[in-house]
A and B are shown apart, each in its own frame.
Chain A
């Protein structure tokens, strides 16, 4: 049984639950991470990729970024495809994304602001 006796204990509960409630405020996020999850994406392993994005964003307490799924983007041979769309910036498309790559995208691109060029569709096509 949890008995709250101090403001700090109350805040501990707040911080713990906050992450799961926060997703309801993400609809207006400035940056959106879209994971292609049509049949092709799911077959190529998009589901664990999305899970990693959701968990990483929560773990690192990143505000104003929404991670969600979208339909087929047309480049089925490159699935799982992930798009990062930020207000006022050009869209970045990552291809054949794995859970490990997803972590690096959060670290370098979302937090650091540096596009992971070697994962992009441009690099894949060369």
Chain B
């Protein structure tokens, strides 16, 4: 029985900023002070506030230490854990009230508006200890389903909850299960899509790192509902921590009899295996994913037949995403009505977002559906840093689109995002300010799709390449208005004719930026100008004669000797020699160098 628990974040973000070293140091310092029997050190999953990592919370006081370094550990142990004096200089400032007392984390702006269902155990339990999961109602939902409910009742509960697929498309989970349940077969499968590939998205990784048992439990429930005895988690090999913890969790579940034969004495058998993906984006598409599990090259195929009819190894299969699964045990335990009461009418529950880009609190947040983008960006995210202004947010990664500042009060749910030309996607949310060029952003995502197109169908393989070429022309100032029309035409052609979701959604970043920021495209084409000053070919550096005092600093730092001028006389940049590296602008102490 520990009098104090020290929780250290062991998510990928904090691990990469040294939390492993911190944990080792903590344990040895605690042992040196003779406190090993009194103070427990627990490595948890992601707390969400990645921008402040490495993060540590000391309970029972709830002291939230941020940006902890290994050098801070002896002070934390000797002051806080031995003498009860909180190390105030390391506290996350938001958690300290005016009178110097510690406020609850739930009162901080970052956590206040969040509601954690999918992430409820992340940063709370030790993901490598099944008993801690059980202590917080773990496997009670599986027990309830197997001992008190029929398969049909489980499906009915899922249907009534209104849970929709969190992988991006938003297909009702209950309907997917019902379809697979009615198809008779000697063998059925349950699969989990953990092939999270959108740039900047790490929701699924965090769930698997912080609460792997919730996914295992939900997959067993799905197996019971549709009559499957075998499950596969398809996870990318680039997620080593998640793979490691998931394997530990599967082994523990087997050891406790929660996977395997005759679970809860109900006669129901279910087991689970991991399949590693090599990191191809297209393998996140359901048919490609299953082809890859079968050991073949990961390419999509035409649908129908849908996986519920003919899926893995030609058998009826249910495939859901990690975040979708992580909601399910709670729905079974607390009931569909409870879940339905959260969120909006057509999108019940919550959604996890990975906040990134030009935002203060980079990290992982979970909010009820229907929360506005403004609340997520300004309140939870802490707004755009460095005095810049919000320009747009990108949701849905390479398949999604952007939401401009004028629509910042949009309530985020599946249908509202579709209506404004974006999509929920898996949950990446990238914030952009006025220094972001929207053509450049569209180009970035197109480069990604061109790289990741599997090449099976022509519209995607050739079409996206042609789109990228036009975008390159635009950013280089070589495009005409005719190119802009052709780009748009190509978008619709690719959307309509591609084989799978990757190609069908690849033009979205271009279409949505064209819709909301057409003027930026036209500035590039007609005026050969990049309004955000990001496209190198279209920007020119000048020295303002009235501000330059002739200190020669820029000239001495220019890597190509493009700046001429004598001491105490205004300098000048030779445009033909200039490579637009921006060093002169960074070095100038008088803001005399400008970019146009």
Contacts and interface: CB of A to CB of B under 8 A. Distances in A.
Given A4-B264, A21-B124, A21-B125, 14 more contacts: A1-B255, A3-B256, A7-B143, A13-B135, A18-B135, A20-B1, A20-B2, A26-B60, A37-B83, A38-B84, A54-B2, A55-B1, A66-B61, A68-B61
Contacts of B61: 27, 66, 68
A58 B2 CA distance: 10
B136 interface: yes
A42 interface: yes
Contacts of B40: 20
A50 interface: yes
Given A24-B124, A28-B104, A39 B136 contact: no
Interface in B73-90: 82-85
Interface string B239-283: 000000000000000011110000011000000000000000000
B59 A5 contact: no
B137 interface: yes
Nearest to A68: B60
A25 B2 CA distance: 14
A14 interface: yes
Interface stretch (B3-11, B16-24, B192-200, B518-526): B3-11
Bin the interface of chain A by size: 35 or more
B62 interface: yes
Nearest to A46: B84
Contacts of B82: 37, 42
Bin the interface of chain B by size: 35 or more
A97 interface: no
A21 B256 contact: no
B4 A68 contact: yes
A24 B139 CA distance: 21
A111 interface: no
Interface string A4-31: 1111001001101111110110111100
A102 B82 CA distance: 20
B134 interface: yes
B67 interface: no
Given A10-B134, A17-B132, A20-B40, A29 B83 contact: no
A69 B131 contact: no
A122 interface: no
A42 B125 CA distance: 30
Given A4-B256, A4-B257, A71 B84 contact: yes
B141 to A, nearest CB: 11
A6 B135 contact: no
A36 B5 CA distance: 19
The 4 tightest CB contacts between A and B, nearest first, are A27-B62, A69-B84, A3-B257, A17-B135
A17 B131 contact: yes
Interface of B: 1-5, 7, 38, 40, 59-62, 82-85, 102, 104-105, 124-125, 131-132, 134-137, 139-140, 143-144, 147, 255-258, 264-265
B443 to A, nearest CB: 46
A45 to B, nearest CB: 14
Nearest to A5: B265
Interface of A: 1-7, 10, 13-14, 16-21, 23-24, 26-29, 34-39, 42, 47, 50-51, 54-55, 58, 66-71
21 contacts: A4-B257, A7-B140, A10-B139, A13-B135, A14-B140, A16-B131, A19-B1, A21-B135, A21-B136, A23-B60, A27-B59, A27-B104, A27-B105, A37-B84, A42-B82, A50-B3, A58-B1, A66-B61, A68-B3, A69-B83, A70-B85
Nearest to A38: B83
A27 B60 CA distance: 5
A54 B256 CA distance: 29
A42 B2 contact: no
A13 B253 CA distance: 13
A28 B61 CA distance: 8
A29 B194 CA distance: 38
B137 A42 contact: no
Contacts of B264: 4-7
Contact of A5 (B60, B125, B136, B257): B257
A104 to B, nearest CB: 19
A23 B5 contact: yes
Contacts of B256: 2-4
Contacts of A3: 256-257
Of residues B62, B83, B143, B264, which shows the largest number of chain A Cβ atoms within 10 Å of its Cβ? Answer: B83
A54 B3 contact: yes
B134 A13 contact: yes
A65 B264 CA distance: 35
A66 B257 contact: no
A34 B60 CA distance: 11
A68 B84 contact: yes
A23 B137 CA distance: 16
B143 to A, nearest CB: 5
A10 B102 CA distance: 36
B137 A14 contact: yes
A20 B83 CA distance: 22
Given A23-B2, A28-B104, A42 B134 contact: no
Given A5-B264, A17-B132, A71-B83, A51 B38 contact: yes
A47 B40 CA distance: 16
A39 B38 CA distance: 17
